[in-house]
Chain A
Amino acid sequence: MSDTSRDDERELVEQARRDPRQFGALYDRHFQQIYRFVYSRVREQTAAEDVTSEIFMKALKAMPRYQDTGRPFAAWLYQIAVNAIADRYRTMRPSQPLDDFHDLSVAGPALEDLAAHRDELRRIWGLVESLPHQQRTALVLKFQEDMKIEDIAVAMGKSPGAVKLLIHRGVSRLRDEADSLRPVE
């Protein structure tokens, strides 16, 4: 995020802190991102809608207590999202096939490599889903949501060092379990 848009966001957050009726601008700005993250975790539209509603309702109610820690506002929303998803789906695992969310048809490799590449991606993301909860969350926030480690730390309520450890352990475990991964040039 550029300094200008960060300043814009600070302004919006401050306005919403003073007057909750200004929260609409923050909702418009972050809805798509949060909904997409939630959907990627629950993979069912109705459930994604329920969890997203819960996240923004909690965020709105907590706005007067929000404190700017220098991290993006989205990191705070992700923190609420991570907790909401964990609360709601502690005993459940998404059932929809992986391809439905991760678009495996990446552009780039030659056609003959595409099928193998898709298989490899499918297998890796399948392994991500089988990782322990904390490792899985850290990897999804890093590689799918493209978040900075410090922001992931905010979202997961951990130190940046702990997040790095989770990512390292998660990727190492993927390597160990993906014996037959085929390198793609």
Chain B
Amino acid sequence: MNGHHDPELDDVLQDEELRRLATLLTSTMRPEPPLDDAFRSGLRRQLMQQAWDMGEGRPSLWRRIFAPPGLAWVGATAGLVLIAGLVVFYSTQQPGGLQQVVVQSPIDGSRAVALQQAILVNFNQAMDHPSTEAAVQISPATTVTYSWSSNTLAVQPASGILAPNTQYQVTIGSGAKTASGQSLSAAQTITFVTQPPAPPTPSPSPTPRAPATPSSLLTGEHQLAPLGGALATSTVQWSADSSTVYFVNSKGALDAVQAKGGDVSVVAPDGVSSAAIAPAGDRLAYIRGGRIEILTFAAGTTAELTATPAPTLVGWAKDKVIWAAADGVYSQAADGPARLAAMPTNGALKILSLAPDGTHAVYLQDLNLFLLDLTTAKSTQLGQANAAFFGWSPDGSQLMYSGTAGNIAIADVQGDSVGTVPTADASWSSQDAILLGSETDLYQAHPDGSNMTKLANGTYRLPIWAPNATAFTFFRGGLLWTASAPALPAVPSVLDQATTAVNTFMLARQKGQADPAAALLDSNGKQAYASGGLNLIINGDPFFSRFYVLTQAVTGTQPDAATFVVRLVLTHGKLDVADFEETLTVVRNPTTRQFLIDQATVGAHRDLGKGAEVVGVVAAADSVQVTFDSDLDPGTVADSMRVLDSKGRQLDATTSYANRTVTISGLGLKPGAQYKLVVLTTLRDVLGHNIAAEYDLQLVAPVAKTKADHKSGGVTASPAPASPSASPSPTASPS
């Protein structure tokens, strides 16, 4: 019998049978539950952000000391003496002797930072923006934009996302100055590592797609258009068929863009402040220059409607335009504008939103939120003072506003509660799914709060569902983006199961646990790690700090097999200094159904920090997509990337480059044939650094679907400089 004796229980469980049961319960081991490292690091980041806010918001020491009323005057007097002393002290000091500048970041030291977010840099005092921005250096080479919120600098990659599997170092140089002109005493560096991209599908699509986190359930995430100004949901409208997004940019132009991407077209060039698509989808109303314009899509004609006082919001009640003005809500009648409901006459008033069905409006009176019934003109207060409005259900019968417990309350227009969801930027779909977006993550839930599902880590501000309840827009870093959310999570695939085995194997090695690692090797695998060249446990300094899967593919079906190229990163102190690759073939044991490592080869060590590095490769039927850690000099891409066939002949191909990713397409790869991806040293990053050495990757073109509905294909690697002996075993290739 297993289980230890617990003396604490001796006087609790005196009966022998009870003690036997207790021992039995104690003997059960607890395995590790599934854990998303991104969640762990994301939560830490949120906590640190919250802690930072708490730290800033705490009363000062002096304020706390002097808080008791009896000490107030004593405190005030002492405070005056102190202030006078400080004034005298500082007036005699040089400018450099003031409070030391402290630089922190919630992601500093994190090892699994989500890709879709800005790098936030917090300063403990107000900074001079131009000198601070000029002092920022980022490695690897990345083009960025800057924005400030109080004393926090947001450094946003111009591409909208960070590179996957990459150690970033963001240095604030000593040239940065405070608002009072004080320089940093020394450069300060923030170091962090990003998450992997989404694993490639077993049969990769030839269509390039934006990388996502492994925990992301979103698809098709891509930028739509730059906005360059403040965020405003009221001006983003989807067409009824979910194909087109209309939005007002920072210059007041009403623009349109296809949801699948493409050029932005101008609907109205300037002065637009609100827009609304008719429920039938045939017309678009918007406010421009104090008038309402109504565009009929089919005819391409625009009608104008003059309203006094000036309209502030436009909406629809079935097929009629309605609008809000300072004194009420109006509709167009046969003889001109007719006021549906008047606003109160006292207090500071602002109508925030018109319901999608045109039967209600929400307005602010001073700091209180009210629901206005446009039929009866009666108002009902929503929530308590300072309540905020979050949106409507698509049919306008229910709405979301600040609840009393710091959450979003959901109620119908009669005031009956439906449920609550956590506070976030919210949007309600036609399928009753509420998106909840924030700076750090995106969730989805039903209006009653049930089925809360995390969709992704990263920045997803102000999401807005399309009518099809699949696509949605959101804001990230001054850009309008779109993505699609799934109805159901994906079922684990053969590749997922093989990936779990590889990750378990690698994690055990990373922790120096030889036995658990060896348990995942079959006899061939054990031989590979025993025969020299390959070390199961990697010791020494630099140390084996992390690993990631560079590329992966299913390569067999009877039995199931998959090939992975895993990159192992070696770190000295906090800095990643070198890496190398192992090519692992995992095969499912037909008896135990467990995946085991059957073959392994190792490549040469490479030093890091010497030009752009490949951090992800996806091979598809006729294209190869290669992701780098650096922004590249686009002019050097086409001539530096090539795919060779097994005889070393270069294939004709078209090369395109966007967001650190090179797509080599039009390859016409033969299923099952071997190819080689070559990255030449002529490739440069945006800072003009060439890559240190040629990088080669052995590829096996994906094969067609089998009758068993498995998909096959393979990718194997041999790190540069390439040599025949470093090539992977041909058994990795599908037959």
CB pair B33 A107 closer than 8 Å: no
Decide if A23 touches B47 in the complex (CB within 8 Å): yes
Q: Which residues of A contact B28 (CB under 8 A)?
A: 102-104, 106, 121, 125, 143-144
Contact B24 A35 (CB under 8 A): no
B34 A45 Cβ-Cβ under 8 A: yes
5 A/B residue pairs, CB under 8 Å, sorted by A: A24-B48, A57-B47, A108-B27, A128-B25, A144-B30
Tell me the minimal C-beta distance from B54 to chain A in angstroms.
4
Main secondary structure of the interface of A (DSSP, over half): helix
The reply to whether B44 and A52 form a contact with Cβ atoms under 8 Å apart is no
Flag if B9 contacts A167 (CB, 8 Å).
Answer: yes
- Interface presence of A76 (CB below 8 A): no
Tell whether, in the assembled complex, residue B27 and residue A21 are in contact, meaning their CB atoms are under 8 Å apart.
Answer: no
Given the contacts A24-B48, A128-B25, A35 and B18 also touching, CB distance less than 8 Å:
no
Does any Cβ of A come within 8 Å of B39's Cβ?
yes
Q: Which 9 A-B pairs have the closest CB atoms?
A: A39-B33, A143-B25, A20-B51, A108-B2, A20-B54, A103-B31, A103-B29, A21-B51, A164-B12
Given contacts A23-B47, A56-B43, A60-B47, contact A49 B454 (CB under 8 A): yes
Chain A residues with Cβ under 8 A from B12's Cβ? 149, 164, 167-168
B26 at the interface (CB under 8 A from A): yes
Chain B neighbourhood of A23, CB < 8 A: 47-48, 51
Query: What per-residue 1/0 map shows which CB atoms of A49-88 lie under 8 Å from chain B?
Result: 1101100110011001000000000000000000000000
Residue with the greatest number of chain B CB neighbours at <10 A, chosen from A45, A125, A146: A45
- Residues from chain A with Cβ under 8 Å of B58 in the complex: 64
Contact partner of A57 (CB less than 8 A), chosen from B8, B9, B15, B50, is B50
* Chain A, 83-106, CB within 8 A of any chain B CB: 101-104, 106
Beyond the given pairs A61-B50, A144-B30, A146-B26, 4 more chain A to chain B contacts, judged by CB atoms under 8 angstroms and listed by A's residue number, are: A31-B43, A46-B454, A101-B31, A175-B15
Residue A48 at the chain B interface, CB threshold 8 Å: yes
Is there a chain A Cβ closer than 8 Å to B636's Cβ? no
Is B35's beta carbon under 8 Å from chain A? yes
Q: Which residues of B are found within 8 Å of A36, using beta-carbon distances?
A: 30, 32-33
Give the residue of B27, B40, B47, B452 whose beta carbon is less than 8 angstroms from that of A46: B452
Contact partners of B34 in chain A: CB under 8 A: 39, 45
Answer whether residue A134 sits at the interface, using C-beta atoms and an 8 A cutoff.
no
Considering the chains assembled together, what is the distance between the CA atoms of A60 and B36 in angstroms? 21
A39 CB → nearest B CB, Å: 4
In the bound complex, residues from chain B placing their C-beta under 8 Å from that of A6 are none
Q: Is the CB of A50 within 8 A of B43?
A: no
CB of B165 to closest CB in A, whole Å: 22
Q: A23 vs B11: C-alpha distance in the bound complex, in angstroms?
A: 38
Question: Is B46 interfacial (CB 8 A cutoff)?
Answer: yes
B33 contacts which of A40, A121, A164, A172 (Cβ < 8 Å)? Answer: A40
Contact with B along A147-173 (1 / 0, CB 8 A): 011000000000000001001100110
Does B13 lie at the interface of the complex (its beta carbon under 8 Å from any beta carbon of A)? Answer: yes
**Residues from chain B with Cβ under 8 Å of A61 in the complex:** 50, 54
CB distance from B696 to the nearest CB of A (A): 39
- Within the complex, what minimum Cβ distance (angstroms) separates B205 from chain A? 27
Say which residue of B8, B18, B40, B55 sits within 8 Å of A148 (CB atoms): B8
Picked from A27, A56, A168, the residue with its CB within 8 Å of the CB of B13 is: A168
Residues of A within 8 A of B453 (CB): 46
Question: Which of chain A's residues have a CB closer than 8 A to the CB of B55?
Answer: 19-21
Contacts of A124 in B (CB 8 A): 21, 24-25
Q: How far is the CA of A174 from the CA of B18 in the complex (A)?
A: 9
Query: Which residue in B24, B36, B44, B104 is a CB contact (below 8 Å) of A121?
Result: B24
A170 to B445, CA, bound (A): 36
When A27-B44, A108-B1 are in contact, do A50 and B54 touch as well, CB less than 8 Å?
no
* Chain B residues closer than 8 Å to A121, beta-carbon distance: 24, 27-28
- The residue on A at minimum CB distance from B35 is A35
B554-590: CB near A (< 8 Å → 1, else 0) gives 0000000000000000000000000000000000000
B52 proximal to A (CB < 8 A)? yes
Distance in angstroms between the alpha carbons of A160 and B2 in the assembled complex: 27
CB pair B33 A48 closer than 8 Å: yes
Shortest Cβ gap from A129 to chain B (Å) = 12
In the complex, A108 Cα to B26 Cα: how many Å? 14
Contact A50 B51 (CB under 8 A): no
B residues adjacent to A (C-beta < 8 A): 1-2, 8-9, 11-13, 15, 17-18, 20-22, 24-36, 39-40, 43-44, 46-48, 50-52, 54-55, 58, 104, 452-454
Q: Could you tell me if B452 and A47 are in contact, using CB atoms closer than 8 angstroms?
A: yes
> With A40-B33, A48-B33 known to touch, is A21 a contact of B25 (CB < 8 Å)?
no
A45 touches B43 (CB 8 A): no
| A61 CA to B54 CA, complexed, in Å | 8
B18 A53 Cβ-Cβ under 8 A? no
Residues of A within 8 Å of B43, CB to CB, are: 27, 31, 49, 52-53, 56
B9, B15, B21, B36: residue with the most chain A Cβ atoms closer than 10 Å: B21
Q: Nearest CB to that of A45 among chain B residues? A: B34
* Complex Cα gap A146–B376 (Å): 63
A120 at the interface (CB under 8 A from B): yes
Q: Are A106 and B27 in contact (CB under 8 A)?
A: yes
Shortest Cβ distance from B453 into chain A, in angstroms? Answer: 6
Task: Using known A-B contacts A46-B452, A50-B452, A101-B30, determine if residue A149 contacts B8 with beta carbons closer than 8 Å.
Answer: yes
Contact of B47 among A48, A56, A64, A174 (CB under 8 A): A56
Pairwise interchain contact B47-A27, C-beta atoms closer than 8 A: yes
How far does the Cβ of A181 sit from chain B's closest Cβ, in whole Å? 8
- Contact at A120–B24, with CB atoms within 8 Å? yes
Task: A177 to B456: give the CA distance in the assembly, Å.
Answer: 45
Between B20, B28, B104, the greatest number of chain A beta carbons within 10 A of the residue's beta carbon is seen for: B28
Chain B residues with CB below 8 A from A112, complex form: none
Is the C-beta of A132 less than 8 angstroms from some C-beta in chain B?
Answer: no
Please determine whether B30 and A103 come into contact, CB atoms closer than 8 angstroms.
yes
Q: Across the interface, name the chain A residue whose C-beta is closest to B40.
A: A31
Bound-complex Cα distance A107 to B22 (A): 17
> Which residues of the other chain, A, contact B46 by a CB distance below 8 angstroms?
53, 57
CB of A49 within 8 A of CB of B36, answer: yes
A124–B55 Cα gap in the complex (Å)? Answer: 48
Q: A13 CB to closest chain B CB, in angstroms?
A: 14
Which chain B positions have C-beta within 8 A of A57?
46-47, 50
State the CA gap A46–B36 with chains docked (Å): 10
Which residue of B has the minimal Cβ distance to A163?
B12
Which residues of the partner chain B approach A35 to less than 8 Å between Cβ atoms?
33, 35, 40
B28's nearest neighbour on chain A, judged by CB, is: A102
* Cα A53 to Cα B28 with chains together (Å): 27
Contact residues in A for B27 (Cβ distance below 8 Å)? 106, 108, 121
**Nearest CB in chain B: distance from A88 CB, A:** 10
Nearest CB of B to A146, in Å: 7
Q: Which of A17-41 contact B (CB under 8 A)?
A: 19-24, 27-28, 31-32, 35-36, 39-40
Residues of A within 8 Å of B31, CB to CB, are 101, 103
A39 to B26, CA, bound (A): 18
The interface residues of chain B lying within 8 Å CB-to-CB of A109 are: 1-2
0 or 1 for each of A125-150: is its CB under 8 Å from B? (1 = yes)? 10010000000000100111010110
Complex: how many Å from CA A49 to CA B13?
A: 35
CA–CA, A82 and B562, complex, Å = 42
Known: A20-B51, A46-B454, A107-B2. A175 touches B17 (CB 8 A): yes
Q: Is A111 an interface residue (CB 8 A)?
A: no
A3 at the interface (CB under 8 A from B): no
A184 interfacial contact with B, CB 8 Å: yes
Across-interface contacts of A64 in B (CB, < 8 A): 58
Looking at the assembled complex, report how far the CB atom of B573 sits from the nearest CB atom of chain A, in whole angstroms: 19
Q: Compute how far the CA of A125 lies from the CA of B26 in the bound complex, rounded to whole angstroms.
A: 11
Residue from A24, A120, A146, A148 with most neighbouring chain B CB atoms (10 Å): A24
